[in-house]
Structure 1
């Protein structure tokens, strides 16, 4: 597997991420996990760094007739990342992108509200924020999440993921103050290949990680 480690599960990956963050001297004020898969890792990182855990939510904008192919993504505050190559390649018109942007932003807002259970979004002003996900492939939703943080008053943003392809990680480095990625295998085919257990995380399970307290 080109030397890439195989994580036992998302919590194991989160603990390894936390260890690396501490080794690199990252002093965070807040961890923001990308639901759903990022929350088990986010819980482990937040507990290790002894800081609060919250979420940052984005939804993919799928291409016309091919919803799995992202022409962009939009965060819950409306911040958007556009995949201009995909937009041009699929000849997607601006009216479609705008229509889907509004619809997916609303879905992201509803998801964020549901996960927080009525709690307000955290104040990011002047804070060092660590954004955690279980890995990136194209990174479309993560890019929209980071766009939201670029539009916030956060002082410093660190992206922490266990694994991602070298080209995506290199691109993301230009969007944040620092990237911590444990593995960047050249033979990357998908995030799940680097986990022994990569089962889907339900909304209920994901929301439970937002409660205080350690979990194994």
Structure 2
């Protein structure tokens, strides 16, 4: 028997997440979506909270031969973040991933240029920043983004997603002030399993939402 999906699509996940976040008190909130799919969720959250929307770009570093399996992540600046347990299990070192890291850093820079369209990112210092994605699997991309955002000195930094792997949510608390998840299923395998429609989001969709 096929299991019923928890969210119709990313917008529905965003509505559920926004309901959780709307019960809290925020100081000058800023909602940042992790492109691409996280921006769709973040758009709904920002709309409900009456907060501005922007992006925080971080790129997954995939395992050799299995790019969908993230063993690390990198932003457009700063050092990469790696998942030590994943590296050990695959017998890899950061040096083995140097070329992949450089390629993903360049892609992060490209996406920032595309999404920001020549403008500066919205100010983050002194604000309650809410970093949003469509889900949390290993958590390595969220950790890389959080470390980048900490340099901008927000008043607080919260990560939020409709569905999170419990272990990843616990691990992420070392990087942020709070982790908010609608669902933390014990049997978690992939983010897409919890959405009926988990189609790929395009750059054009992200640009439209930001506008």
Normalising by structure 2, report the TM-score.
0.90
1:50 aligns with 2:43: no
Residue deviations 1:182-210, cap 9 Å, x none?
10011112112212222111111122110
Distance across 1 between alignment mates of 2:168 and 2:106: 27
- Matched with 2:168 is 168
Distance across 2 between alignment mates of 1:94 and 1:10: 33
Q: How does 1:180-195 map to 2 (within 5 A)?
A: 180-195=180-195
1:101 aligns with 2:97: no
SS at match of 2:210: coil
Which piece of structure 1 moves more, 24-33 or 185-194? 24-33
Distance across 2 between alignment mates of 1:36 and 1:86: 24
8 Å CA contact 1:78–1:101 kept in 2: the answer is no
Distance across 2 between alignment mates of 1:97 and 1:141: 15
Seen in structure 2, the aligned counterparts of structure 1 residues 51 and 79 have a Cα distance that, compared at 3 Å, is farther
Residue 4 of structure 1 deviates from its aligned partner by 9.1
Distance across 2 between alignment mates of 1:4 and 1:157: 33
8 Å CA contact 2:158–2:180 kept in 1: the answer is yes
Normalising by structure 1, report the TM-score.
0.88
Distance across 2 between alignment mates of 1:71 and 1:195: 23
8 Å CA contact 1:162–1:183 kept in 2: the answer is yes
Distance across 1 between alignment mates of 2:86 and 2:201: 29
Unaligned runs of 5+ in 1: 212-216
Residue 18 of structure 1 deviates from its aligned partner by 1.2
- Matched with 2:10 is 10
Q: How does 1:1-216 map to 2 (within 5 A)?
A: 6-211=6-211
How much is the aligned-residue C-alpha RMSD, in angstroms? 2.1
SS at match of 2:124: coil
